[in-house]
């Protein structure tokens, strides 16, 4: 990716970590952002072991000030950010009837508003460079819905709408904005689910396996490449066929 600078949120583990490594292997300089510096340093070490530059920034996606400071520091040290992967997200699951307003607000603030603020940090630089890739990590549940996750689903569906709107606004500047919607992916978050729930989910997947973080990262790497230059406003499903 010709030494372009990529900024990956939620990069300390799972899908974010896999995306950071995939972009590094493709030739990018990578800024890894999350709240856990210790885990971020491990990811940065893995990137440097590939011979690519890496920078760690602590960032709280629910705090606009934290986001602004993180992006300013990253651009100062690593140069203009022309690839953004909005991956950071949280869950606070419960049925809508019982959902506390605080749990609704926190998930929307982090997953949707935080992603929007991240996009705002890079838009002007991408416009000046006349090249950019913004990739928002949505979810299959943002397309199909899921009981007990009204807040999370709303945030992920909102990301799809945000993707399409921003794509229209900045396409003329050679900047693409796309979303990747993973299905059931084997991560720390899904590992905690009950075995009967996992079995039920597997039965709904035509490819008869759960996805890996690397499956998602491969889609992100493609959308961040020059080869994907004529794709924008698109939602790329990486779900094994569980939603079509």
Catalytic positions, written as ranges: 152
Contact (Cβ atoms closer than 8 angstroms) between residue 83 and residue 1:
yes
Tokens of 46: 């893995």
User: Residue 117: is it exposed, middle or buried by C-beta count within 10 angstroms (0-12/13-18/19+)?
Assistant: buried
Contact (Cβ atoms closer than 8 angstroms) between residue 68 and residue 120:
no
Distances in Å between the Cα of 112 and the Cα atoms of 45, 53, 101 are: 29, 29, 16
> Could you give the residue ranges of the DSSP H alpha helices within the chain?
14-25, 37-49, 64-78, 101-108, 114-129, 141-144, 150-170, 188-191, 195-202, 213-223
């Amino acid at each position: 990716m010709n030494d372009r600078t990529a900024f990956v949120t939620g990069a300390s583990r799972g899908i974010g970590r896999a995306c950071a490594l995939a972009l590094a292997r493709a030739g990018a300089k990578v800024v890894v952002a999350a709240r856990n510096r210790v885990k971020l340093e491990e990811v940065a070490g893995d990137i440097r072991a590939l011979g690519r530059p890496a920078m760690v920034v602590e960032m709280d996606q629910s705090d606009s000030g934290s986001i602004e400071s993180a992006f300013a520091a990253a651009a100062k040290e690593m140069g203009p950010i022309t690839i953004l992967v909005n991956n950071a997200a949280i869950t606070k699951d419960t049925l809508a009837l019982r959902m506390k307003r605080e749990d609704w607000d926190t998930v929307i603030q982090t997953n949707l508003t935080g992603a929007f603020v991240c996009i705002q940090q890079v838009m002007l630089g991408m416009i000046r460079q006349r090249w950019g890739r913004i990739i928002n990590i949505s979810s299959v549940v943002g397309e199909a819905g899921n009981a007990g996750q009204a807040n999370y689903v709303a945030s992920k569906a909102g990301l799809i709408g945000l993707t399409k709107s921003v794509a229209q606004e900045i396409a003329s500047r050679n900047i693409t904005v796309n979303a990747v919607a993973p299905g059931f992916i084997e991560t720390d978050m899904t590992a905690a689910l009950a075995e009967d729930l996992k079995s039920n989910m597997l039965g709904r997947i035509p490819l008869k396996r759960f996805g890996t973080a690397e499956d998602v990262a491969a889609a992100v790497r493609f959308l961040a490449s020059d080869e994907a230059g004529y794709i924008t406003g698109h939602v790329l499903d990486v779900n094994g066929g569980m939603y079509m």
